[in-house]
Structure 1
């Protein structure tokens, strides 16, 4: 047989074998690479940002696939199992939500809607619990003003150098030994009484582009309302996340996502989850009213003297700073 013919046959065989290999590697096993999102209870979600469609701790391509599945399958009751899929916060699930999530992933400018820490509180006179959502200008900037103890967020994320302003109370109560440079940092005004006009002026002066508000501030929601009505919220970002009490870990995850660098929260979340697991593994034993010896697990909550019930992460930000 002609040598050229032999080479041609061998080459063809190689191509066929390679093609079969590619088919089995990519085509035949395509199901193993597919992503099937599972519905979730939105009360269990820690990263409470619209666009976190699958409800886990990170915004990534899985959220794009989740939104696409909702669209493809025509899931009309998506709020029940995929509450945070509405990335652009317009009450519908469309390809526009995918566009927003892709902007999050690529760190491109857009609005990032989130459920702020007042979302399940009686924030208005009618006394009705309601979700209250806000937005930031994603990614938020690095000239951050922290009202009261919210500066702990920056410490935990390892971005203390973003700390550019605080309230007068914070500067008076804590010294440079605890928060370096705080004695000379610009003041945003009195705690719980921040003034929108003053904050806007600091923005115009190039001193501020993000404000993390103290969740215990009585004027917080009204300041946000005014910021939206005046248009200030479209260039000065307002972050309302609790840094003490329940769900501090939510705030850490969300703030890292707002900065556009979700890896900032990795160390704290790993430390937090490990600590909570150890707590939940602790057993207590006691005799019940029938004299039976009973084992029970440690509660993830504890009560203060005033009867208020707090989760075990009440001061985990400060504890992490001191660890």
Structure 2
């Protein structure tokens, strides 16, 4: 679909989405009014700036030349039509960056990045992937990413193979984490290859739309977001009926005697599902006590503190599991570990059989809403009696990941299994 067409229908699509949908700012210059799309409203807002009626915004300088003028209106019109030759955006480090448009040949780093590319239907543009090293390398998941089995490798994301990248002649390399491919921009200096850093693992939806503009696939992003927000809105509407005093108190047990606090994707998923993360503000108190200025969203936690809070439910994160594993015993091992923690059996969660385990990746990336559905079903089984999270998960795989994968036969994502 041409951008001119989606610009005409975007208002209608947005009216379908309720106020409970996930909100974000599209960090592309030209998004003058600071919402999640670039459309005619941005032209109107920018004209208001030129007429002295609106305040200048951080993203109103569409061509990033240091001034806001008629040329920025021209750039926005080109973005809407899909005819711009380059896009300026805010990268994972908070810096303004430039990328050529549209991207026809791309190299991908990090599995969450590959998931977004499949949502956008741009798999055929991928000419290289990371395939070695730590968890998250695309090539390490041949069952889930069969499209990329024969794709050229650029090695380990901790030290990406520059020679391999150059031989592929990509327009850009898209890196889904700030720590990936260190110093790559310097190493590629003099080439015509753009390096795009986005936090696809922790900011799935914003990254989805940023890449949609770079790839000229905004219509696909809108279709996906409408589907996703339909489920999130349903959850929000139902949990809104639960009085604050009756909400389930949840402890998230992260491996290594750590937990999650407000500001992490894990905590957000608990909150969206209607739960109360008992450790939501724990990092603030620990920071004050230690005299630390920065916030750790994955702080250490003492068992005694958890027992004092007496959570109604415990959700454990497991590093093991996922699409490449068919044996749920890896999740049961984590479950048994949590059950064996001294005192946990005497908490409300332990007494009432409300200890659960989820594969950690469920809560990350563009498909993060799937974990919200599993959590909502766990926390409020009566309220969500008609919800089948696994069915939604399967729809995500079939409709938006374009891969032949049956969750009834493969994968290990939650424990105990949902009946």
Give the equivalent residue in structure 2 for 1:51: 30
* Alpha carbons of structure 1 residues 48 and 172: separation in structure 2 relative to 1, 3 Å: closer
Q: Which of 190, 193, 209 is 2:159 aligned to?
A: 193
| 2:226 pairs with one of 258, 270, 279 | 270
Unaligned runs of 5+ in 1: 1-43, 120-131, 287-292
When residues 253 and 218 of structure 1 are mapped into structure 2, their CA distance, relative to the original with a 3 A threshold, is: closer
User: Could you list the runs of 5+ residues in structure 2 that have no partner in the other structure?
Assistant: 1-22, 270-362, 371-392, 399-419
Aligned length: 245
Q: Which structure has the larger Rg over C-alpha atoms?
A: 1
- Please state whether the residue corresponding to 1:191 is helix, strand or coil: coil
* Structure 1 residues 294 and 261: CA distance shift in structure 2, 3 A: same
Structure 1-normalised TM-score? 0.66
Report the 3-state secondary structure (helix = DSSP H, G, I; strand = E; otherwise coil) of the residue aligned with 1:215.
coil
Residue 83 of structure 1: SS of its match in structure 2? coil
Deviations 1:181-237 (A, max 9, x none): 42321112222222445423321xxxx2221113152544x323555xx243xx323
Aligned partners of 1:216 and 1:45: how far apart in 2?
20
- The equivalent of 1:322 in structure 2 is 397
Alignment of 1:159-308 (within 5 A): 159-169=122-132, 170=137, 172-175=139-142, 177-203=143-169, 208-220=170-182, 222-224=183-185, 227=188, 230-232=189-191, 235-245=192-202, 247-281=203-237, 282=239, 294-295=245-246, 304-305=254-255, 306-308=258-260
- CA deviations 1:29-80 (Å, max 9, x no partner) are xxxxxxxxxxxxxxx64311111112222212221221111011175x51xx
Deviation at 1:298, TM superposition (A): 9.6
- What TM-score do the two structures reach when normalised by structure 2? 0.52
Residue 158 (structure 1) shift = 2.2
Cα distance in structure 1, aligned partners of 2:252 and 2:219:
30
Larger relative helix fraction:
1
| Matched residue, 1:113 | 88
8 Å contact kept, 1:139–1:260: yes
Cα distance in 1 between the residues matched to 2:174 and 2:36: 21
Where 2:166 maps in the other structure, the secondary structure is: helix
Aligned to 1:28: none
SS in 2 for 1:211: strand
Q: Is the 8 A contact 1:283 1:297 kept in 2?
A: no
Closer, same or farther in 2 for the Cα pair 1:197/1:298, shift >3 Å? farther
Question: Cα–Cα, structure 1 residues 181 and 274, in superposed 2: closer, same or farther, change >3 Å?
Answer: closer
Q: Does 1:68 align with 2:29?
A: no
Q: Which secondary structure does the structure 2 equivalent of 1:264 belong to?
A: helix
Residues of 1 paired with 2:118 and 2:172: CA distance?
A: 16
Would the aligned equivalents of 1:137 and 1:236 in 2 still touch at CA under 8 Å? no
